[in-house]
């Protein structure tokens, strides 16, 4: 792991790091905020997965999470959204597929299988690196995300309920198998067998029996993607049927941007902190 930059912020250290990923076969860049802490302390970890077109930079610059993470003593990890590099196959001019649109899955179709392994990268490889290099208590993890990253947080959280104490999302895609972004990406990354899509769909996972203990979702009513792509109502319905303790909140007048995310970020961090102990 190589350090690209560190800056003191809110009493802690905001860093950007890069490493060679075995999973994606590429250099991967991510950011980590480590709050002020006692020497030798082990701190809980909050994962933040970003949305389409994003890198680690968007939330690192615009997310307004450091004050709350410093206050609650939480490490905040922000990975990239896909493999990068000139050797990585891409769909040029498509913002919703290829680079910047990894959908946190392991691709099964060519030419995507070699590099597009964001599920294994986020679930296995990066946690091991975080555990090795940062003062992280890996027994205390929670996960959150935005839009495609909200889907990532929900699905990774649902598939690993023993690892993540709480799951939250801003404007998540909740049912990609029923929405254009998801249908496009899954058919190309995963192929035509829709049965294989279910493990990357939050609503399908819940309908299949997956559960999380604590879920918080904020969705803006002025979000242009709400009706066609995000379909928050399907998640609310699935949680209700499944008896999942989910706070799914419609936020009046807010859109899909970081102006929305940053408004409720401190509240999400505090909510996770209460469950991370």
- To 10 degrees, the CA torsion angle through 199, 204, 206, 207? -130
**Residue with tokens 């498509």, as numbered in its chain:** 94
Task: Yes or no: say if 201 and 237 are a contact pair by the CB < 8 Å rule.
Answer: no
**Based on CB atoms, which residue is closest to a second copy, 106 or 223?**
223
**Residue 263 engages a second copy in binding (rule: CB under 8 A):** yes
Number of residues that bind a second copy (CB under 8 A): 23
x/- contact string, 223-262, with a second copy (CB under 8 A)?
Answer: ------------------------------xxx-xxxx-x
Q: Supply the minimum distance, in Å, between the C-beta of residue 140 and a second copy.
A: 25
Q: Supply the minimum distance, in Å, between the C-beta of residue 61 and a second copy.
A: 5
Q: Supply the minimum distance, in Å, between the C-beta of residue 70 and a second copy.
A: 9
**Based on CB atoms, which residue is closest to a second copy, 98 or 220?**
220
Task: Yes or no: say if 173 and 181 are a contact pair by the CB < 8 Å rule.
Answer: yes
**Based on CB atoms, which residue is closest to a second copy, 242 or 250?**
250
Task: Yes or no: say if 122 and 156 are a contact pair by the CB < 8 Å rule.
Answer: yes
Task: Yes or no: say if 191 and 143 are a contact pair by the CB < 8 Å rule.
Answer: no
Q: Supply the minimum distance, in Å, between the C-beta of residue 256 and a second copy.
A: 10
Active-site entry in 147, 166, 168, 171: 147
Side-chain half-sphere CA neighbours of 111 within 13 A: 7
Residue 253: C-alpha distances to residues 8, 63, 218, 224, 250 (Å): 34, 19, 12, 11, 9
Q: Supply the minimum distance, in Å, between the C-beta of residue 249 and a second copy.
A: 15
Active-site entry in 166, 201, 223, 272: 223
Residues 47-66 that bind a second copy (CB under 8 A): 61-62, 64, 66
x/- contact string, 11-40, with a second copy (CB under 8 A)?
Answer: x--x--------------------------
Bridging pattern class, strands 27-34 and 12-20: antiparallel
**Based on CB atoms, which residue is closest to a second copy, 67 or 196?**
67
Stretch touching a second copy by CB under 8 A, among 5-13, 176-184, 205-213, 233-241: 5-13
Q: Cβ atoms within 10 A of the Cβ of 178, count?
A: 15
Q: Supply the minimum distance, in Å, between the C-beta of residue 266 and a second copy.
A: 7
**Based on CB atoms, which residue is closest to a second copy, 67 or 187?**
67
Can you name the residues that pair with 77 across neighbouring β-strands?
Answer: 32, 47
Active site residues: 147, 223, 256
Contact residues toward a second copy (CB under 8 A) are 7-11, 14, 61-62, 64, 66-67, 220, 222, 253-255, 257-260, 262-263, 266
């Amino acid at each position: 792991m190589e350090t690209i930059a560190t800056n003191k912020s809110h009493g802690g250290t905001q860093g950007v790091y890069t490493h060679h990923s075995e999973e994606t076969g590429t250099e991967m860049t991510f950011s980590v905020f480590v709050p002020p802490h006692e020497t030798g302390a082990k701190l809980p970890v909050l994962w933040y997965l970003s949305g389409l077109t994003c890198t680690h930079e968007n939330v690192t610059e615009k997310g307004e999470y450091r004050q709350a993470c410093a206050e609650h003593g939480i490490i905040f990890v922000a990975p990239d959204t896909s493999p990068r590099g000139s050797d990585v196959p891409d769909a040029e001019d498509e913002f919703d597929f290829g680079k910047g649109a990894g959908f946190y899955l392991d691709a099964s179709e060519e030419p995507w299988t070699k590099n597009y392994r964001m599920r294994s990268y986020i679930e296995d490889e990066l946690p091991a690196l975080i555990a090795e290099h940062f003062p992280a208590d890996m027994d205390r993890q929670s996960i959150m995300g935005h839009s495609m990253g909200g889907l990532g947080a929900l699905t990774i959280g649902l598939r690993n309920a023993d690892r993540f104490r709480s799951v939250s999302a801003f404007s998540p895609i909740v049912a990609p198998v029923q929405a254009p972004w998801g249908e496009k990406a899954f058919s190309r990354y995963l192929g035509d067998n829709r049965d294989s899509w279910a493990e990357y769909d939050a609503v399908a996972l819940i309908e299949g029996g997956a559960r999380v203990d604590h879920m918080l979702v904020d969705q803006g009513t002025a979000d242009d993607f709400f009706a066609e792509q995000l379909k928050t109502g399907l998640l609310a319905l699935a949680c209700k049927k499944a008896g999942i303790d989910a706070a799914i909140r419609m936020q009046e007048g807010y859109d899909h941007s970081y102006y929305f995310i940053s408004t409720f970020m401190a509240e999400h961090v505090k909510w996770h902190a209460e469950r991370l102990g």
